[in-house]
Amino acid sequence: MIRGAIFDLDGTLFDSLWVWEEIDERFLRKRGIAVPSDYAEHIGVLNFEEAAKYTAKRFGLKDSPRELMDEWMGMACKIYAEEVGLKPSAREFLELAKSRGIKLGIATSSHSSLYIPALNHNGIYEMFDAIVDTEHSRGKSFPDIYIKVADLIGVSPQECAVFEDLPAALKSAKQGGFYTVAISDRHSYGCLDEVKTFADKFAGGFDELMTFFD
């Protein structure tokens, strides 16, 4: 029986991967570099500092990780606070879960200065019982973050579903003993087969999950 649900934000609840795609393109184009096809997948499971270190090392950049993080944050803050919206039917799915007494948590690789304004302007911040980001946990290549959220909401992994869009995150959640639900995102189509490999359930969108808690 599912008693808890843990959600990723970017690409799962938030229709926001376009933001980082645009930032990646602008950031690397400024340095004369084309965005590699596997770049988004590699940094999607890292925390902010890990992503900056990975980027500096991969492209041989002279910028420090702190300089990279500051540049990314400056580009993203305004967009998240004003423009980032929810995936179709995400709000209705959360409301359904709350009506069934499901404990809700967030496990995100995003920074609090981005996701908190976005949660607030979409009116869903108060729905969640716990939020953990990878500033306070290892990246999503490990199940730690999901285990920490489950502990905070008082639900065992075996009674908890994790909703994610990236294969590496789904894989680690599954290794942690969670029931895994893959939410399709148009930016993740290139790894769709791999996503399905690690998902106990696959959905094209939240509209397909309205009987999930029945």
The CATH number of residue 53's host domain is 1.10.150
Parallel, antiparallel, or unpaired for β 14-15 and 4-7? unpaired
Query: Which tens digits make up the pLDDT trace of 67-121?
Result: 999 999 999 998 999 999 999 999 999 999 999 999 999 999 988 999 999 999 9
Domain termination residue (choose one: 82, 111, 134): 82
- 199 & 173 share domain: yes
- 62 & 130 share domain: no
33 dihedral zone (left: phi>0; alpha: psi -120 to 50; beta): beta
Which residue's entry shows tokens 């938030």? Answer: 14
Average model confidence (pLDDT) for the chain?
Answer: 93
- For residues 27 and 33, give the distance between their C-alpha atoms in angstroms, rounded to a whole number: 9
What local confidence, expressed as pLDDT, does residue 187 receive? 65
Angle between helices 17-29 and 65-82 (to 10 degrees): 140
- 93 & 40 share domain: no
% of the chain beyond a pLDDT of 90: 77
Based on the structure, what is the number of domains in the chain? 2
What domain range is 194 assigned to? 4-16+85-209
pLDDT at 191 over 80: no
- For residues 106 and 127, give the distance between their C-alpha atoms in angstroms, rounded to a whole number: 10
pLDDT category of residue 188 using cuts at 50, 70 and 90 = low
CA distances from 85 to 5, 96, 124, 166 (A): 20, 19, 11, 19
